Amino acid sequence: MRLNLVPVIYRKEILDTVRDRRTLISMVVVPIVAMPLLFFVIGHFMSSAERRAGEEAVTIAVRGGEALPGLLDLLKESGFRLASPEDIRAAMDNKQIAAWLEPAAAAGGATEIRIYADETRQASELAARKIQTALDRFKQDKITARLRSMGVSETVLKPFTVKRINIAPEKKMAGFFWGSLIGYMVVLLMFSGGMYPAIDMTAGEKERRTLEIFLSTPAGRNEIVLGKILATTSAVFVTALLSISSLLVSFRYSSFGKSSQRMKETIGRIPLDAQSLALVILALAPMAIMAASLMIAIALLAKSFKEAQSYLTPLVMAVVFPLVVGMLPGIQLTPLLALVPLFNVCQLIKEIFVGEFSWAAFAVTMLANLVYAGVAFFAAVRVFKDERVLFRT
Amino acid sequence: MIQAQNLSKIFVDRKRGKVKASDHVSFEVKEGEIFGLLGPNGAGKTTILRMLATVMRPSEGTATLGGYDIVKQPDQVRRRIGFLSGDMGLYHRLSPREILSFFGQLNGLTGPRLKDRIEEMVALLKMRDFADTKVDKLSTGMRQRVAIARTLIHDPPILILDEPAAGLDVPTARVIEEFILEARKSGKSILLSTHVMEEAEFLCDRMAVIHEGRVKIIGGMEELRAATGKQRLREIFMELLSLDGEFARRSGHAS
């Protein structure tokens, strides 16, 4: 093997790749533009929907409120605007009111207050929740007043109180969030970012009839495949780095409305020190080689760019499955699971971010992915040596 | 320089079963000679050239180029050949200089030697005006010159040309013909395939007529004339393919 030719081939592939508009779009424009756009659009919709829901949720109706003295005053105090439409159902459907409540007689002479809400409507759901809170306070006040009139302390009803405290440090919470998101997004984008370069270097070369000339030069098949895989790996890596950066930057400058402000503050503490970052990049390396080799091997089977696209698109979609499993909470990276490609990287990245990974899991993951990368690499070389594939007509 | 011995290639086609694209083909191309493979489309010319250029392995038989075996020493063979096909196979997003640099380096040229050789090619093929323009933007004639320069960048003693003038207009095809004649003058062995009779008659010192993977006859124009009793290559060709009789019958029927 003449290794000195590999950089020559690599440089040519990179030059050819960066001059291809299609590739540039999938590799650079998508991560840089799509991510902020996604965040901006989601943020915009979330905050405006929240605002609208907040405004809508204020207006409610009460049927037969007189039955319960003090109820109407309480609701007014709680900030509700009380409407009295003739047809309550129609008012609900026209979104003139967000919910309505109606006291009814229940068993044992007690009163049951029914809250009618349309839980598919955000405003209605929100109103119901607020009414519930107001009524709980109303009930509590009534109980307290009665106990006081009987000379009993209200602590009788509360032998103890319960408070839940989250001891996970905020850094860990942020790590969990970012680890899940970055693992998922980056791995997915790595595949989609490497797809066009991989196709262009294989099926594209076949289609443009340049491959035959290339193969008749002193460059051996191994050198050619290695050069192409390294170039695709670079594309995959550039996509990964661009998408991580873009993700972090867009997050920082987007807004999600008031209620998610706290969430934003928590996960805004991005737990990214040099060591974690280095480990994440290290963990991604064998996976990038595997992804590149796999896509090169598959795209090479095709006669044309279009055909290769139809082979690789399902692959990119299939990648989602192990990734989604990795997003589920409660899944730990056991040594056995560390053998599952893609899933293992996502999981490892999550654990690195949380700061709870074990070196054993890290080693198994790296080793397993290196083996997969090696297998994919040799598969690509094998396909490249198969003249039935190269000269398919 | 080129010696093909019983060169055979069998493809397994899903519809047609076993297809002999090349069936025990033997011929020899000497130094400073232009040798043509002449045959209709699908005769097996490209397969023969691909085997000689080491991009395809023969199913049987072998060949030596410059004394090196295509099966056992493909690396040595590749260093000594320049391969060009009618569709040129140029990287459209690279400039002529970049293409020449890439193929020069693949052939072991580096540093000042590479640079000098590129400039030499640029001057020789009059590419100065467009040497840094992407191939995408070049005319067919310009591209053809780039393809020739790429084939010659490492000054190979053997040229393998697969229908080099296919689909080109007369002036552009003329550039190719001049290049081929020039290469013969400098002592290179040239093997070219074509289905254009005029081209073969004009360029080739000797030729092999190929039909259905088999060599029908080998020789110069005089030998071909003597063997068939026909004057023009077109007639010789039809005679050899034994399509002549059928062709006459068909045209007679039509009138």
pLDDT tier, A257 (very low <50, low <70, confident <90, very high otherwise): low
Indicate the range of A88-92, A371-375, B49-53 predicted with least confidence: A88-92
The distance in angstroms from the start CA to the end CA of chain A is 30
Looking at residue B16, its pLDDT comes to 80
Contact: A391, B98; criterion CB under 8 Å:
no
Q: Where are the alpha helices (DSSP H) in chain A?
A: 5-18, 21-24, 35-56, 71-77, 88-93, 122-149, 170-201, 203-207, 211-215, 221-252, 261-267, 274-300, 305-327, 343-354, 359-385, 387-390
Is residue B176 within 8 A of residue B157, CB to CB? The reply is no
**pLDDT higher than 80, residue A53:** no
Q: What is the C-alpha to C-alpha distance for residues A82 and A71, in angstroms, rounded to an integer?
A: 11
Give Cβ neighbours of residue A167 (< 8 Å, ≥ 6 apart): none
Looking at residue A137, its pLDDT comes to 87
Residue with tokens 């040239």: B190
Class for domain B2-80+156-254, per CATH? alpha beta
Structure tokens at A301: 């089977």
Looking at residue A145, its pLDDT comes to 87
**Average pLDDT of the residues in A217-230:** 91
Beta bridge partners of B29: B2
CB proximity A212 to B under 8 Å = yes
**Interface predicted TM-score (ipTM) of this complex, two decimals:** 0.89
B211: helix, strand or coil = strand
Between A244 and B160, whose confidence is greater?
A: B160
Residue ranges covered by each domain of chain A? 5-48+169-390, 57-157
Is residue A335 within 8 A of residue A367, CB to CB? The reply is no
Find, among A76, A60, A64, A62, the residue nearest to A128 by Cα: A60
pLDDT tier, A272 (very low <50, low <70, confident <90, very high otherwise): low
Between B252 and A393, whose confidence is greater?
A: A393
Computed on alpha carbons and rounded to an integer, the radius of gyration of chain A in Å comes to 30
Looking at residue A85, its pLDDT comes to 87
Contact: B90, A210; criterion CB under 8 Å:
yes
Indicate the range of A96-105, A184-193, B32-41 predicted with least confidence: A184-193
Structure tokens at A335: 């040594």
Looking at residue A173, its pLDDT comes to 74
Looking at residue B253, its pLDDT comes to 42
Q: What is the C-alpha to C-alpha distance for residues A288 and B108, in angstroms, rounded to an integer?
A: 30
Cα→Cα distances A171→A181, A265, A269, A273, A354, Å: 15, 11, 6, 11, 8
Q: Which residue of B56, B78, B160 is in closest CB contact with A218?
A: B78
pLDDT mean across residues, chain A: 84
Which stretch, A113-127, A187-201, A349-363, B58-72, has highest mean pLDDT? Answer: B58-72
Contact: B89, A210; criterion CB under 8 Å:
yes
Looking at residue A326, its pLDDT comes to 67
Looking at residue B151, its pLDDT comes to 94
Which H or E run contains A356?
none
**pLDDT higher than 80, residue A39:** no
A196, amino acid identity = Y
Structure tokens at A157: 């009803």
Q: Provide block-wise average pLDDT over 10 residues at a time, chain B (255 residues).
A: 93 84 94 93 90 93 95 94 88 96 95 95 92 94 91 95 83 86 93 88 92 90 86 84 53 42
Contact: B56, A8; criterion CB under 8 Å:
no
Cα→Cα distances A202→A17, A232, B56, Å: 12, 11, 17
Using an 8 Å CB-CB cutoff, list chain A residues near B95: none
Indicate the range of A44-53, A64-73, A138-147, A258-267 predicted with least confidence: A258-267
Looking at residue A176, its pLDDT comes to 77
CATH number of the structural domain A57-157: 3.40.190
How many A×B Cβ pairs under 8 Å?
A: 70
Looking at residue B247, its pLDDT comes to 45
Contact: A5, B98; criterion CB under 8 Å:
no
For residue B129, give the DSSP letter: G
How is chain B split among helix, strand and coil, in percent rounded to 5? Answer: 40, 25, 30
Reported as half-sphere exposure (CB side, CA atoms, 13 A), residue A103 has a value of 13
Specify the pairing of strand B34-38 against strand B206-211: parallel
Looking at residue B221, its pLDDT comes to 87
pLDDT tier, A216 (very low <50, low <70, confident <90, very high otherwise): very high
Looking at residue A64, its pLDDT comes to 83
CB neighbour burial string for A112-146, b if at least 16 within 10 angstroms, e if fewer? ebebbbbeebbbbbbbbebbeebbeebeeeeeeee
Between A43 and B245, whose confidence is greater?
A: A43
Structure tokens at B208: 């092999």
CA distance A6 to chain B (A): 9
Looking at residue A271, its pLDDT comes to 61
A359-385 and A343-354 are packed helices; what angle lies between their axes, rounded to 10 degrees?
A: 150
CB proximity B91 to A under 8 Å = yes
Is residue A290 within 8 A of residue A369, CB to CB? The reply is yes
Is residue A301 within 8 A of residue A311, CB to CB? The reply is yes
Looking at residue A256, its pLDDT comes to 57
Contact: B75, A220; criterion CB under 8 Å:
yes
**Average pLDDT of the residues in A175-197:** 81
For the beta sheet containing B158-162, the strands, ordered from the edge strand earlier in sequence to the opposite edge, are: B81-85, B158-162, B189-194, B34-38, B206-211, B214-219
CB proximity B124 to A under 8 Å = no
Q: What is the pLDDT of residues A301-353, one digit of tens each?
A: 999 999 999 999 888 888 888 777 766 766 777 777 788 888 888 888 888 88
Using an 8 Å CB-CB cutoff, list chain A residues near B55: 212, 215-216, 387, 390
Q: What is the C-alpha to C-alpha distance for residues B61 and B8, in angstroms, rounded to an integer?
A: 6
**pLDDT higher than 90, residue A280:** no
Looking at residue B254, its pLDDT comes to 39
Looking at residue B243, its pLDDT comes to 54
CB proximity B78 to A under 8 Å = yes
Q: Which of A:12-31 have CB within 8 Å of B?
A: 12, 15-16, 19-20
**pLDDT higher than 70, residue A268:** no
**Average pLDDT of the residues in A47-56:** 76
Q: What is the C-alpha to C-alpha distance for residues A357 and A202, in angstroms, rounded to an integer?
A: 38
- State the pTM of this model: 0.79
A5-18 and A170-201 are packed helices; what angle lies between their axes, rounded to 10 degrees?
A: 100
